[in-house]
Structure 1
Amino acid sequence: MNNYLDSSKRLPIYDMIIFCHLRWDFVYQRPQHLITRLSSQYKILVVEEPIGRSDKKSEIIEISPSLHVLKPHIDHLDELGSYLKSILKDSKYLVGWFYSAAFVSVLNTFDFETVVYDCMDELTLFKGASPELLVQENSLLSAADIVFTGGKSLYESKKEKHHNVFCFPSSVDVSHFSNEEIEHIEKPGDLKNINSPIIGYYGVIDERIDLELLQQTALQNPNASLVMIGPICKIEESDLPRTENIHYLGMKSYEELPQYLHFFDVAMMPFALNDSTKFISPTKTLEYMAAMKPIISTKIKDVVTEYSDCVSLIDNADDFSISIEQPMTDFHAKYEQILENTSWDRTAEKMCTIINKVLA
């Protein structure tokens, strides 16, 4: 259980301050995987995007003795630098790590020996992105000593803008998703009345999902159940396709996901091909592989480049239907080869090595 620290007192000295647009207790993804591992070498403060309501006390959560998460209650992001200055003991730190360029103004207040930009998504292309974000990113790229990218497409894009870019595609904790050591896995209650075959997805349900594809596939396959697990963001409930065989089960914790994944007959990534998916490299691809599930995906560039020989790639609902009826079966050896060469532990270790070389 996490502890809450007293936000009225000055915080301890940190080695690394990480600025993140995602909530720590939201979908467990790249930031949580990496930060948790980095905290074995650095004392870290994660600063979330401000929630607003400056009349409410900010929250500081102790995830572990070396990892704290700050949920600042301030009205505007441009107030963050002065707010942090009021609660931190120093203005000089080893590493400033950014997941979003929207935080770049804090560089006017704090001095970091090394500035890292871990670009996991092209946020400038996301729905609702601030028009200022592109200018802010250019400022961050000018200040950054190191740029990490969450996939090859992002790497190709950012290496044109920075001299020190490293590609670290999203990785996987194989043991967490493989379920190999569990003799009996109980079917979750909200799956028990859902008919097989289950064609499942988990992750954020937002403008990146091809809702029309989902609906047409469901209508063409009335005997299959399309299960969508995850929070709905930036779209309305009314936008979601509703058929008898599409099931929305809401958000599940990282600990629960392997249990649900175990009962997928096929795992899917029904992403729309639009600006918001142009540079994505879905973490769930490797997680699906760790569970040894056949995968159906739209033609996301990084998925096509990396996994075209072991993932069923589709253009439309007709292709999707064929892949449901005839899922790929000869993927096990290819999955194992891919998984053997990747882990979050290894990724975090390589990142630390790069940072330490710059600090030396």
Structure 2
Amino acid sequence: MNNILCFSHLQWNFVYQRPQHLLTRFAKQNKVFYFEEPRSGLSDFYELKLQDGISIIQMFLSDDCENRNLRLKKLVNKILADQHISNYYCWYYTPMALEYTSHLKPAVTIYDSMDELSAFRFAPPQLLELEEQLFKKADIVFTGGYTLYQAKKNRHHNIHPFPSSIDKEHFLAARRNTPDPQDQKNIPHPRLGFYGVIDERFDIELLREIAFSRPDWHFVIIGPVVKIDKKDLPKAQNIHYLGPKKYSELPDYMRHWDIAMVMFAINESTEFISPTKTPEYLAAGLPVISTPIKDVIKPYGEANLVYIADSADSFIAYAEKELTKKCRKKWLMKVDDFLANESWDNTFEKMNLLINNVKKSSQKYV
């Protein structure tokens, strides 16, 4: 059993997504320590709690800005000493963690590049330089999609694309009869739903235009609002913001939607994304309409599993087409065939094999 130190830009309980899916599986064979981004505290200290088989570490720093990275380095060293960790792997989701972990000497260094973080709003200016250092330090690199892989494949000798996968059994529950959640049951149909982080990637103007054009359609939006002002979100009687929901609750909401939306704006922050929600929506048995995100067009759009709408007019036209359908049995069979071999379990197995094949002593892989 190996120790895995994971350094992430995401809080464990923020949204259940790629890190949680993968690391809970790695935790069945390893001891996983998940380091969240440092936060402000009254002094320099850390807290450790067990959840989902993971040791989640929250590091706190006093507001004194001096020697921040040196103090974090000392805090990381203390954690390793307190937990009696001497041999370990390092797994990075953010290159920013190198500022206080570059001194560590892991047996294997893994970089899971799930997004192009440098394109996100408020990205630190030093992120690109630190990512270049991480590429040099890493023994193996994964990318969160094929578009991101194409952009980074020449930067490392051992890089592999692993796009968003799926926990099928979890979302198949949305095909069964379940009660409509209390905060959704009084919303009229047809319902067009979206869940995910609502930030600079979310297409606010598209939602505004469609909701205005079709006042009899109702739009259910689930997820936390971050990095944008809530005042900028479109407001209308047919737009319903239900806030964040637990991962376990999502199928109950989706069961009572008519159409699912991948409603991302086309900008630099979405150029390389591979939305996890796409296969999740499909597994739930929902027709999906997406903006032209590259990793949705290929493979889902090309396989005629997802509508690709490049304007409000085309989005409305596809929705009208779906709302008149009486039967989706053939389409659903096609979806199930397409998703048959897709699972986070399979992704874990492939990643684990590649990691185990890394030969640290020679910096080569087999």
Q: TM-score, normalised by structure 1?
A: 0.92
Q: Deviations over 1:184-226 (max 9, x none)?
A: 4010011111110100000000000111100000011111101
Is 1:178 equivalent to 2:178 in the alignment?
A: no
Aligned CA distance change for structure 1 residues 259 and 359 (closer, same or farther; 3 Å):
farther
Q: State the SS of the aligned residue for 1:226.
A: strand
1:92 CA displacement: 4.3
Aligned pairs, number = 346
**Aligned pairs for 1:119-130 within 5 A:** 119-130=113-124
Answer with 321-330 or 215-224: which moved more: 321-330
Q: Distance in 2 between the 1:283 and 1:96 partners? A: 24
- Indicate if the aligned counterparts of 1:21 and 1:99 stay in contact, CA closer than 8 A: yes
State the one-letter code of the partner of 1:265. D
Q: Distance in 2 between the 1:215 and 1:180 partners? A: 27
Aligned CA distance change for structure 1 residues 225 and 78 (closer, same or farther; 3 Å):
farther
1:316 CA displacement: 1.1
Which of 316, 320, 325 aligns to 1:325? It is: 320
Q: Distance in 1 between the 2:317 and 2:69 partners? A: 48
Q: Deviations over 1:253-279 (max 9, x none)?
A: 001001001111000011000010000
Q: Distance in 2 between the 1:261 and 1:70 partners? A: 33
Q: Distance in 2 between the 1:45 and 1:125 partners? A: 27
Q: Distance in 2 between the 1:181 and 1:196 partners? A: 17
Equivalence for 1:102: 96
Q: Distance in 2 between the 1:331 and 1:138 partners? A: 44
User: Structure 2, unaligned stretches of length 5 or more?
Assistant: 63-67, 361-366
Identity %: 43
1:14 CA displacement: 6.2
Q: Distance in 1 between the 2:70 and 2:235 partners? A: 41
1:244 CA displacement: 1.1
**Aligned pairs for 1:59-78 within 5 A:** 59-63=47-51, 67-75=54-62, 76=68
1:91 CA displacement: 6.9
Equivalence for 1:251: 244
Q: Distance in 1 between the 2:96 and 2:85 partners? A: 19
| CA RMSD after TM alignment | 1.8
Equivalence for 1:41: 29
- Indicate if the aligned counterparts of 2:2 and 2:89 stay in contact, CA closer than 8 A: no
Equivalence for 1:234: 227
Q: State the SS of the aligned residue for 1:93.
A: coil
Q: Distance in 2 between the 1:124 and 1:93 partners? A: 31
1:178 CA displacement: 0.6
State the one-letter code of the partner of 1:314. A
Equivalence for 1:112: 106
Which of 307, 328, 331 aligns to 1:312? It is: 307
- Indicate if the aligned counterparts of 1:281 and 1:303 stay in contact, CA closer than 8 A: yes
Is 1:222 equivalent to 2:215 in the alignment?
A: yes
Is 1:87 equivalent to 2:94 in the alignment?
A: no
- Indicate if the aligned counterparts of 2:175 and 2:284 stay in contact, CA closer than 8 A: no
Equivalence for 2:352: 352
Is 1:267 equivalent to 2:263 in the alignment?
A: no
Q: State the SS of the aligned residue for 1:248.
A: strand
- Indicate if the aligned counterparts of 1:82 and 1:109 stay in contact, CA closer than 8 A: no
Q: Deviations over 1:155-180 (max 9, x none)?
A: 11111211110111111110001117
1:359 CA displacement: 4.7
Equivalence for 1:283: 276
State the one-letter code of the partner of 1:108. S
Equivalence for 1:152: 146
- Indicate if the aligned counterparts of 1:97 and 1:118 stay in contact, CA closer than 8 A: yes
Q: Deviations over 1:277-321 (max 9, x none)?
A: 000000000110110100000000010111111111101111111
Q: Distance in 1 between the 2:142 and 2:32 partners? A: 18
Equivalence for 2:363: none
Q: Distance in 2 between the 1:178 and 1:348 partners? A: 20
- Indicate if the aligned counterparts of 1:208 and 1:272 stay in contact, CA closer than 8 A: yes
Which of 31, 42, 52 aligns to 2:19? It is: 31
Q: State the SS of the aligned residue for 1:138.
A: helix
State the one-letter code of the partner of 1:175. E
- Indicate if the aligned counterparts of 1:77 and 1:103 stay in contact, CA closer than 8 A: no
1:107 CA displacement: 3.9
Q: Distance in 2 between the 1:234 and 1:320 partners? A: 26
State the one-letter code of the partner of 1:85. N
- Indicate if the aligned counterparts of 1:92 and 1:111 stay in contact, CA closer than 8 A: no
Q: Distance in 2 between the 1:108 and 1:57 partners? A: 20
Equivalence for 1:50: 38
Q: Distance in 2 between the 1:108 and 1:207 partners? A: 31
1:52 CA displacement: 1.8
Equivalence for 1:3: none
Q: Distance in 2 between the 1:319 and 1:151 partners? A: 26
- Indicate if the aligned counterparts of 1:20 and 1:47 stay in contact, CA closer than 8 A: yes
Is 1:293 equivalent to 2:293 in the alignment?
A: no
Aligned CA distance change for structure 1 residues 350 and 343 (closer, same or farther; 3 Å):
same
